[in-house]
């Protein structure tokens, strides 16, 4: 396939990645040079996004609706083969040994699967059964190669290609609840996902619905934690944990949508998960904000601030949060003539890189982007 490295070249790259894997030291982060890089697209395609990072400068994501990754200082782009029968997708994350996980969609019937790809292999393999009517299947992998996703309605964890456990619904969930997504797994093996349930309360003649985050501790020796939410029991509210760092901190959002009145509220939960989430605030000049990713150990979280016109996001801005203090914006990359760039952030590293996408507001053309030395570029916008 176009843009795919040969097995020999991939092996050489992978050897470098394994050697370089692991968090950078504080000295490395201090020595970084602030920059914003638009990453190249796959040949013949356009657009892209960075959704995760590996060791040795590896970034993963999508280009032109196809799964892709970038290597080296020049961000050389490489295609990842899709599972047989699927024609769109993206890579979500990668392990320390180059095992990638992603989500693929079959446009003929909008069925989606999670899949795996070993860097340098000629093919990719579907991990889950096709889920009808789904845009994607959330999936994640940690450095040790443990993979999590929901497969045919069952929440599972894999290691070495084999299922090692199924994740139960918390005992305190409302009737009709099931695990609908597994969104993240940290180095230790703690997993964050989303549970949703609904039933009709005949006594009060109302439908009761609750969508909330859950943390399953590593190894399965303890029951899962149902994370507390500000608002529940109504279908207009969905509270989602998007990522979990190595300390067990969960970042995400409360998503409220009723008619033309959407609201996105950032949310942060910390162990022992016995309190309501905290709201870190908003980016100056923006009404809504969601947190999408976090660094493993440096307490950084990233996401997107949004301004809606009725129910449509008209402006959005990549956000950087150090874990304390005010939220800050990440700068736009150099704009082409006539371009009005919009940005989103999805992933962060311990060595102060942030990955995401930049979009032209008029044409909706996008590019994958990486901010290096992000903390030195983040700024407070004027209202």
- Tens digit of pLDDT at every position of the chain (383 positions): 223 233 333 333 333 333 333 344 343 455 788 999 999 999 999 999 999 999 989 999 999 999 999 999 999 999 999 999 999 999 999 999 999 999 999 999 999 999 999 998 999 999 999 999 888 999 999 999 999 999 999 999 999 999 999 999 999 999 999 999 999 999 999 999 999 999 988 888 888 899 999 999 999 889 999 999 999 888 899 999 999 999 999 999 999 987 777 899 999 999 999 999 999 999 999 999 999 999 999 999 999 999 877 656 567 999 999 999 999 999 998 877 777 789 999 999 999 999 999 998 778 889 999 999 999 999 998 86
Domain-located, residue 128? yes
Domain-located, residue 293? no
For residue 346, CA distances in Å to 32, 35, 49, 111, 192 come to 20, 17, 9, 24, 16
Element (DSSP H or E) covering residue 141: strand 139-141
Q: Are 22 and 31 in contact (CB under 8 A)?
A: no
Any idea what the CATH number is for the domain that residue 56 is in? 2.120.10.30
Can you give the residue range of the structural domain that contains 96? 39-166
Number of domains in the chain: 1
Domain-located, residue 57? yes
Domain-located, residue 243? no
**Both tokens of residue 94?**
């990668």
Domain-located, residue 72? yes
The strand pairing partners of 59, in sequence order, are 53, 70
Domain-located, residue 182? no
Domain-located, residue 263? no
- State pTM to two decimals: 0.89
């Amino acid at each position: 396939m176009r843009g795919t490295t040969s097995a020999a070249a991939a092996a050489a790259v992978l050897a470098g990645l394994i050697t370089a894997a692991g968090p950078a030291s504080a000295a490395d982060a201090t020595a970084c040079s602030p920059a914003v890089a638009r990453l190249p697209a796959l040949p013949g395609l356009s657009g892209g996004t960075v959704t995760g990072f590996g060791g040795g400068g590896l970034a993963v994501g999508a280009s032109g609706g196809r799964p892709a990754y970038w290597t080296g200082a020049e961000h050389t782009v490489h295609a990842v083969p899709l599972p047989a029968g699927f024609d769109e997708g993206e890579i979500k994350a990668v392990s320390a040994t180059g095992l990638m996980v992603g989500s693929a969609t079959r446009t003929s019937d909008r069925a989606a699967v999670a899949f795996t790809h070993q860097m340098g292999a000629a093919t990719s393999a579907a991990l889950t059964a096709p889920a009808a009517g789904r845009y994607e299947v959330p999936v994640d992998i940690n450095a040790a190669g443990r993979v999590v996703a929901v497969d045919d309605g069952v929440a599972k964890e894999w290691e070495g290609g084999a299922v090692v456990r199924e994740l139960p619904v918390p005992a305190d969930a409302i009737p009709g609840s099931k695990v609908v997504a597994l969104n993240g797994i940290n180095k230790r093996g703690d997993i964050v996902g989303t549970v949703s349930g609904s039933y009709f309360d005949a006594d009060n003649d109302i439908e009761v619905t609750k969508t909330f985050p859950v943390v399953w501790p590593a190894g399965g020796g303890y029951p899962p934690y149902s994370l507390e939410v500000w608002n529940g029991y109504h279908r207009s509210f969905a509270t989602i944990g998007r990522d979990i760092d190595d300390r067990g901190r969960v970042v995400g959002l409360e998503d409220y949508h009723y008619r033309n009145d959407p609201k996105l509220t950032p949310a942060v939960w910390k162990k022992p998960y016995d309190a309501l989430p905290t709201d870190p605030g908003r980016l100056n000049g923006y009404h809504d904000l969601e947190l999408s990713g976090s660094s493993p150990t440096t307490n950084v979280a990233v996401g997107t601030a949004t301004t809606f016109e009725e129910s449509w996001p008209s402006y959005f801005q990549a956000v950087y949060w150090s874990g304390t203090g005010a939220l800050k914006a990440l700068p736009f990359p150099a704009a082409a003539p006539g371009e009005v760039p919009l940005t989103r952030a999805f992933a962060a590293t311990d060595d102060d890189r942030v990955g995401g996408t930049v979009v032209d507001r008029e044409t909706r053309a996008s590019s994958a982007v990486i901010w290096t030395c992000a903390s030195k570029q983040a700024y407070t916008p004027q209202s």
